[in-house]
Structure 1
Amino acid sequence: MIEQQSVTRSVSSFTREQANTVDIIKELDKLEELVEDSPQIGGRALWVNADRFFVCTNRIRAFLPEEMKRASRISRDSEKMLQEAQDEVHQTLESARREAERIIEQARARAAELTATDAVRLKAEQEAARIIAEAREQATQIRRGADQYAKEVLAGLDAFLGRILGTVQRGRAKLEQQELESSVR
Structure 2
Amino acid sequence: MPRTTAPKTKKLESMNLTELRARFREVVGEETRSPNKTHLIRRIEEALAAKKRRSPTRRATAAAPSAPPAPAAPTATPAAGAQPTQGRGRFAGLSVQELQAKYLEVVGRPTGSTNVDYLQWKIREAEAGRINVGPRPEREVKVREDGKRVIPLSLDTEALAALDKAWRDAGLPSRTRFFMRAVHRELTAMGATEAAEHFAPDENE
TM over 0.5: no
Looking at CA atoms only, which structure, 1 or 2, has the larger radius of gyration?
A: 1
TM score, norm. by length of structure 1: 0.27
Q: Hey, which of these two has a bigger chunk of helix by percent?
A: 1
| Greater RCO, CA 8 A, separation 6+ | 1
TM score, norm. by length of structure 2: 0.25
